[in-house]
Structure 1
């Protein structure tokens, strides 16, 4: 007879999160970043106690304010997500870590270039990780997506390759835009520009997903990628 062990605080099963809330937690920090950059005076009372006064003045005031707001927002979103699901999703976790690191560098050196570099590093890391996984015959995309889909191994490999190339393209595009255009144009590229590009790319992969999707018993028997 097998013994049933009651869940303890350290062994609580992962719980699902409502799609609308997941979308809000992922998009919310970007929305706040966008509005804080365009309306820094609205957020000034919140960030003033933590930032030198000179950073809240001049042409970069919006970006410094938005960076501070973004750092807090991604951490709050991560905490809320963990409180609900009892686990830390990979992409938001990596994003939050890089936001804190590059946001900290932005304030330490008082140079907005660091926060502009963050998307480049983020997309490059994801792209190289996905393509590197394929080299070792270990598609990582199912892990990133929390096994929310069931595809054939061929389907996962093709989709992982495409997403890896897409992330590298976004990394290069971010570098070109922040180095050649104004801060306001870069912010627009970051949001909503990047989101639009990702949505377009995601929907363009629907035919591939439908072709290689596993259903019924085949999906139930498909191995999880851990």
Structure 2
């Protein structure tokens, strides 16, 4: 099914909204305790449980509007559901915090496997959205592999040494900001590997 285009702001709200909703809900109930079926849960765990249906609802709307979900979105949703369930089952917030490490670690590992085989799996996923020469894709893949590995290590350090409040804030704002700034910087520095407007026009004409 061909992907349908939607308003950019709508897409951003659907992709980022669930994380912001989790943050706001956590900040509202972080000091409270909830008894569910005779078990006491912290505000963090209740916010985690609420995050799962919010994320799935946003993804369902995104799929309905665009007709497509990326592999990364599907994988992230699976990890959220899986580790959210473990968090609730064991009543242990560490599972949800480790989820971020495993997600970033898996991304780094997958990209690294591609690099070891002389391929850019990143190009396979994003090639249609971002036309770029093979050499540029390999450079970007190496850099992004290092970044994901660094974020995985950073998450381990943060959740093991800092408070839950600090982890939630860093998870919600700092890690996405680092990824956004990194990708923006790569688009600027890798311009020479991207086709110019004249080249794109000539390729379309041919």
Q: How many residues align?
A: 202
| Partner secondary structure for residue 14 of structure 1 | coil
Q: Displacement of 1:146 after TM fit? A: 6.1
Tell me the C-alpha RMSD between the 2 structures. 2.4
Q: How does 1:81-96 map to 2 (within 5 A)?
A: 81-96=62-77
Q: Displacement of 1:197 after TM fit? A: 1.2
Q: Displacement of 1:70 after TM fit? A: 1.4
| Partner secondary structure for residue 55 of structure 1 | strand
Instruction: Report what 1:20 is aligned to.
Output: 9
The farther-off stretch of 149-158 and 194-203 is: 194-203
Answer yes or no: is the 8 Å Cα contact 1:126–1:164 preserved in 2: yes
Answer yes or no: is the 8 Å Cα contact 1:150–1:219 preserved in 2: no
Instruction: Report what 1:40 is aligned to.
Output: 29
In 2, the alpha carbon distance for the partners of 1:31 and 1:53 equals 29
TM-score when normalising by structure 2: 0.88
Runs of 4+ in 1 over 6 A off after TM superposition: none
TM-score when normalising by structure 1: 0.81
CA gap of 1:143–1:18, structure 2 versus 1, over 3 A, is farther
Instruction: Report what 2:164 is aligned to.
Output: 183
Q: How does 1:192-211 map to 2 (within 5 A)?
A: 192-211=173-192
Q: Displacement of 1:186 after TM fit? A: 0.5
Q: Displacement of 1:217 after TM fit? A: 7.1
CA gap of 1:184–1:119, structure 2 versus 1, over 3 A, is same
> Which of 134, 137, 142 is residue 115 of structure 2 equivalent to?
134
Q: How does 1:145-224 map to 2 (within 5 A)?
A: 145=126, 147-216=128-197, 218-219=199-200
Give unpaired runs (5+ residues) of structure 1.
Answer: 1-11
Q: Displacement of 1:189 after TM fit? A: 0.8
CA gap of 1:53–1:191, structure 2 versus 1, over 3 A, is farther
CA gap of 1:107–1:185, structure 2 versus 1, over 3 A, is same
| Partner secondary structure for residue 40 of structure 2 | helix
CA gap of 1:124–1:219, structure 2 versus 1, over 3 A, is farther
Q: Which digits, 9 at most, give the CA deviation of each residue in 1:80-112, with x for residues without a partner?
A: 121122222111111100000000000111111
In 1, the alpha carbon distance for the partners of 2:56 and 2:196 equals 37
Q: Which digits, 9 at most, give the CA deviation of each residue in 1:131-160, with x for residues without a partner?
A: 211222321113433621100000011001
Give unpaired runs (5+ residues) of structure 2.
Answer: none
Instruction: Report what 2:60 is aligned to.
Output: 79
Instruction: Report what 1:120 is aligned to.
Output: 101
CA gap of 1:82–1:178, structure 2 versus 1, over 3 A, is same
